[in-house]
Amino acid sequence: MKCSDFTIMFAEDNLSIQKIYEKNFLKEGYNVLLADHGAQVMAGLKESKVDLLVTDLEMPGMNTFDLFPVLKKDHPKLPVIIVSGHYVDFKTEFESKGFNFKLFLSKPVSVGVLKEKIREILKIDPAEVK
C-alpha cells in the first residue's frame, strides 16, 4: 500500500505544529485532515474515513481523556498515536481503561520519527514513500 491510500487526522491545537504535520505528510502523499479541538475530531471522524489519528492530549473543547471513551465505542479499531508533553504515567492509565492506542510519543517529537512510526503502523513499505 502507498501513502496516498491512507488518511491521517492530526488533532493539534498548536497551529505551527499543525502546519508542520500538514506540509510533511502531504508531501509524502497522505491525505491529511486537521483538527484543533475535540468537536472537529468527532466531526471529521463522522464525515471521512480516517485510517490513523495522531492527537495531542490537551485540546480545547474535548481533551483526549474525553475523546477516548467515544473512540472506544464508535471507532474501536482506529489506530491512535498520542503526542504530548504530558507523557508521565498516562500510558498505564490509558491501558487500564482499555483505550486503543498504538503509541505514546513525548513532545517535542521529530517529524522523521513520527513518519517512521506511522509507516510501521499503517504497514507502508518505505520504498513506496515519495
Secondary structure (DSSP) of 72-100: HHH-TT--EEEEES--TTHHHHHHHTT--
Residue 6 lies in a domain: yes
Residue 93 lies in a domain: no
In tens, the pLDDT along 53-112 reads 999 877 777 666 778 788 888 998 999 998 877 655 666 766 766 666 787 887 788 999
Residue 119 lies in a domain: no
pTM score? 0.89
Residue 79 lies in a domain: yes
Quickly tell me which residue has 513499505 as its cell.
125
Cell readout for 94 is 490509558
